[in-house]
Structures are given as C-alpha cells and as structure tokens.
C-alpha cells in the first residue's frame, strides 16, 4: 500500500484535532461570586469523565435548581453568550 494511503487516517485525525475543542472556556470574572461558584461546580461535573451524559445532565440540573434565581439568571445569560 502506498505510504500516502497509510498516512491518510493519521492526517484525518490531525485535522480533527485541529478543530476539536480541547477544554472548557474560562469562567468569566464578571460573574458574581455565587455564580462563579455554581459555574465551578458545573465545570467539575463536566470534567468528570466517569459520569455518563445522563448523569452529567442530572447533576447539572440539580446544581442549577438549588442556585438562587439571580444566579440562574446570570448563568442563562452566560449560556446564551456561549451558545451552549
């Protein structure tokens, strides 16, 4: 097999790695301290690779639900800004 064909999968993987995000965005410093704490809790859930997507969703929902309405509003605005 020609070497260009053998290296094709590696080239594709390299291209995918270039466009794939490698981490989460930093938590904005303009959030209130309470919202930053909640955002850090959410970030910890997302970074825990032992959880399933369903477990992540349930944990994040519980974190957001226990936050104050003001913090929930801050996080909603952040969610719209980042499109997530």
Q: Tell me: the pLDDT tens digits for 22-54?
A: 667 788 888 999 999 999 999 999 888 898 999
How many domains does the chain fold into?
Answer: 1
Range of the domain at 77: 30-84
If we measure between CA atoms, which residue out of 25, 40, 39, 28 comes closest to residue 71? 39
Instruction: State the pLDDT at residue 1.
Output: 45
- Residue 25 inside a domain? The answer is no
Q: Which of 6-10, 34-38, 74-78 has the lowest mean pLDDT?
A: 6-10
d(CA 44, CA 12): 31
Residues 6+ apart with CB under 8 A from 74: 31, 32, 35
> What does pLDDT average to over the chain?
81
Residue 10 lies in a domain: no
The pLDDT of residue 5: 46
21 domain-assigned = no
Per the document, the length of the chain is 84
Residue 72 lies in a domain: yes
Is the residue at 15 inside a domain?
Answer: no
């Amino acid at each position: 097999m020609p070497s260009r064909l053998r290296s094709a999968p590696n080239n594709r993987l390299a291209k995918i790695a270039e466009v794939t995000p490698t981490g989460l965005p930093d938590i904005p410093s303009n959030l209130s301290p309470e919202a930053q704490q909640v955002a850090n809790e959410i970030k910890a859930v997302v970074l825990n690779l032992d959880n399933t997507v369903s477990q992540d969703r349930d944990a994040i929902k519980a974190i957001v639900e226990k936050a104050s309405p003001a913090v929930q509003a801050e996080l909603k605005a952040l969610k719209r800004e980042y499109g997530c």
